[in-house]
Structure 1
Amino acid sequence: MNDLRSPDQSTPTRALGFRRRGLRWTALVLLSLGGWAAGESIGLTAAGLFSALIVAATLAVTGWGPSRVPRPLGKLAQGVLASAVGLMVHRETIAALGSLWVPVVSIAAATLAISVAAGALLALHRDVDAVTGSLSMTAGGATGLVAMARELGGDDRVVAVVQYLRVALVVLTMPMIVTFGFRADTGADTVPDAGGGSEWYVAAAFLALFIVGGTAVASLVRLPAPATLGPLAVSAGFELGGWSDAVTVPPMLMTAALILIGWQAGLAFDRASLRAIGRILPYAAALTLLVGAACAGLGVLLAHLTGASLLEAYLATTPGGLAAVLAVSASTSSNVTFVAAAQVLRLVIMLVTTPIMAKVFAHFGSRRRRRAYETPTVRSGDTAEPGTSRSPRSR
């Protein structure tokens, strides 16, 4: 008896599989775009990423989502986001710091140290490893950190949830703190849009150079997360050198990149991961609030060192929500240039140093685990044969 299916029998099955995958991708795209439009209408920060993450996670958990985002598309999204950050490093913005760059960089370094400490505390949780903890608690660059999490060996689902918990807390509390804590008048006009920009094909050519060239160079010199750090370094270099003046990432391309990053993290969810993240969330929320309080303390120190007002220093050290920070800064007639320079500098420092530190944590963590498994544990009165060992308690 022949059990093999004939081509005539397998063709309908294959066609059904293609149709089913097509329907899943169609549902994912349409629901994500609907969520993005709804988020934009209420002024939600990174609405494309939020909607894509929620929709993709929901479809994945219910079994109605596609299996994963193709790897090349994920790399492309990382490159677009990194290039956008690099193009924010304007010469005029950095020059505006003048003699204040030393205290601003020092405060950014202190913020990084606080983030590292919080990440180490989060990694004490049995469901979080060192890389995931460090990426989750870094105060700045949420989209970039989520984008590079998988490439660095972290759990991008946990990183996404904890990072956007931080952004949500910042965006929700900042207007209330500014209004009721500082008694600031938020009725000033916002900074007008500079407009202009380059033609789309010029921007596309520069982006291709940043992404392809930057990733290739970063891979060649073995930088961690080359798809992020390479385009970031090249685009920032071009911007500081004056070779990419007026080049901006088209808004729709940025939205598409955010949606892809949201899909990448969301489609990796399942019921087990949801239960694990539910166990992590209260611990992560408490640490996030502690990081926010520590950054507010650094703001007081920054005001003392630079002569800026307490409000400007608070906005300059707020751990996340860059677009919201600049909007609030403009609406309160604060020194937007100082706030923007401090925030962008902190953002770049976080995105450049965090992958390196995550790799260091992963290296020492693996060495520690190897040593624990290789070292025999001998209790009093027991003897161990040479070369034998006891396994440590799993986390």
Structure 2
Amino acid sequence: LGVAIGTLVLSVIAGALLGMRRDVTALTGSLALVAGGASGLVVIARELGGDDRVVAVVQYLRVALVTASMPVVVTVIYHADRSRAAPEAMENSTAPWYLSLAVMVALVVVGALGGRLIRLPGAGLLGPLALTVALEVSGLSFGLSVPVLLVQAGYMLIGWQAGLAFTRESLKSVGRLLPAALGLIVFIGVATAGLGIVLARAAGLTPLEGYLATSPGGVYAVLATAVETGSNVTFVIAAQVVRILLMLFAAPFLARAVVWAGRRFGKGQSRAITAESREPIRVAD
């Protein structure tokens, strides 16, 4: 948990630096560099009034860089043996798809309404997510799962929402900020690798396990690498889940603080990125 909070702090620092550019608001910059839950953060950005196009580009750039660099880092720096055969997966009983869909609909409706009643930022995402986490942790999920096709459809809709909003001018603006975003992503990756060293020493892990547990993204690549190298898969994935949940739940509250600070000390929203019809702080207020 301490390492996850440290990662969040690093993300805040990087987001603040990105938000200092003229063509990016502090709100958009902070959400763009939160190290966890890329697709969820794109949705949160749209709901809070940030520029979901910038958030989508920078978030998936982070995931791509972390995933692409992981095999090189694991082999060259940690000299890991990746020749282990993956163990056979245990088959768990799953609930019928129609029951899973019914419970999912109930979680979405109750979670979203409940989140709005308590004025939870990003209630449409975080309300149902909180109920789902509670269901899983309590052991009362009974094999419920979201159908894979529905998951893929959700990813497509999120991508379409962000992608179809691009214009020629916004593409040029995003292109201008990519070098800065790339440098800040590398900064987060190196800094979290340092946190991995601290975690490894504190928890009695190998340096490789510390690196995998604190990787700022690419959770599927982390899982595959942990299995291939014979690492402590349970610990690594538990640490990754803690990171992702912390980032998703902390991001909206962080956005409120960023909007407040931006109003007090910062500048206005850039029209090069965000269309005039948008209301940058409507939900955050």
TM-score (norm 2): 0.91
- Partner in structure 1 of residue 218 of structure 2: 321
- Partner in structure 1 of residue 56 of structure 2: 160
Partner amino acid for 2:95?
A: S
Spell out, residue by residue over 1:32-75, the C-alpha distance to the aligned partner (whole angstroms, 9 max, x if none). xxxxxxxxxxxxxxxxxxxxxxxxxxxxxxxxxxxxxxxxxxxx
2:130 and 2:88 mapped to 1: Cα distance? 28
Distance 1:197 1:341, change over 3 A: same
1:192 and 1:266 mapped to 2: Cα distance? 39
1:145 and 1:191 mapped to 2: Cα distance? 33
- Partner in structure 1 of residue 3 of structure 2: 107
- Partner in structure 1 of residue 154 of structure 2: 257
Matched, 1:141 2:37: yes
Matched, 1:312 2:209: yes
Instruction: Report the secondary structure of 1:334's partner residue.
Output: coil
Partner amino acid for 2:42?
A: V
Question: Deviating runs (4+, > 4 A) in structure 1?
Answer: none
Partner amino acid for 1:314?
A: Y
Matched, 1:237 2:140: no
Query: Shift in Å at residue 174 of structure 1?
Result: 0.3
Partner amino acid for 1:351?
A: L
Query: Shift in Å at residue 369 of structure 1?
Result: 5.5
Partner amino acid for 1:108?
A: A
The 5 Å alignment of 1:41-56 reads none
2:72 and 2:248 mapped to 1: Cα distance? 28
Query: Shift in Å at residue 183 of structure 1?
Result: 1.3
1:134 and 1:254 mapped to 2: Cα distance? 26
The 5 Å alignment of 1:273-284 reads 273-284=170-181
Spell out, residue by residue over 1:145-197, the C-alpha distance to the aligned partner (whole angstroms, 9 max, x if none). 01211101110000000011100100100011112221111122224444432
- Partner in structure 2 of residue 381 of structure 1: none
Query: Shift in Å at residue 360 of structure 1?
Result: 1.6
Spell out, residue by residue over 1:316-346, the C-alpha distance to the aligned partner (whole angstroms, 9 max, x if none). 0000011111011011110000001000011
- Partner in structure 2 of residue 130 of structure 1: 26
Matched, 1:179 2:75: yes
Query: Shift in Å at residue 200 of structure 1?
Result: 0.5
1:316 and 1:151 mapped to 2: Cα distance? 30
Spell out, residue by residue over 1:114-147, the C-alpha distance to the aligned partner (whole angstroms, 9 max, x if none). 0000000000111110111111111111111012
Matched, 1:342 2:239: yes
- Partner in structure 2 of residue 83 of structure 1: none
2:66 and 2:89 mapped to 1: Cα distance? 24
Partner amino acid for 2:132?
A: S
Spell out, residue by residue over 1:233-269, the C-alpha distance to the aligned partner (whole angstroms, 9 max, x if none). 0000111112213111111110000000000000110
- Partner in structure 2 of residue 362 of structure 1: 259
Q: Which is bigger in relative contact order (C-alpha 8 A, separation at least 6)?
A: 2
Distance 1:206 1:189, change over 3 A: farther
2:106 and 2:88 mapped to 1: Cα distance? 30
Task: Work out which of the two has the higher radius of gyration on C-alpha atoms and give 1 or 2.
Answer: 1
Partner amino acid for 2:17?
A: L
Partner amino acid for 2:46?
A: R
2:227 and 2:191 mapped to 1: Cα distance? 24
Instruction: Report the secondary structure of 2:99's partner residue.
Output: helix
Distance 1:176 1:366, change over 3 A: same
1:154 and 1:199 mapped to 2: Cα distance? 38
The 5 Å alignment of 1:153-232 reads 153-195=49-91, 196-232=93-129
2:101 and 2:125 mapped to 1: Cα distance? 17
Query: Shift in Å at residue 365 of structure 1?
Result: 1.4
- Partner in structure 2 of residue 71 of structure 1: none
1:251 and 1:311 mapped to 2: Cα distance? 31
Instruction: Report the secondary structure of 1:150's partner residue.
Output: helix
Query: Shift in Å at residue 199 of structure 1?
Result: 1.1
- Partner in structure 1 of residue 46 of structure 2: 150
Distance 1:347 1:191, change over 3 A: farther
Q: CA RMSD in A?
A: 1.2
2:154 and 2:247 mapped to 1: Cα distance? 20
Identity among equivalent positions (%) equals: 50
Spell out, residue by residue over 1:98-125, the C-alpha distance to the aligned partner (whole angstroms, 9 max, x if none). xxxxxxx111100000000000000011
Instruction: Report the secondary structure of 2:10's partner residue.
Output: helix
The 5 Å alignment of 1:19-98 reads none
The 5 Å alignment of 1:380-391 reads none
Instruction: Report the secondary structure of 1:151's partner residue.
Output: helix
Spell out, residue by residue over 1:361-393, the C-alpha distance to the aligned partner (whole angstroms, 9 max, x if none). 1123124469xxxxxxxxxxxxxxxxxxxxxxx
- Partner in structure 1 of residue 143 of structure 2: 246
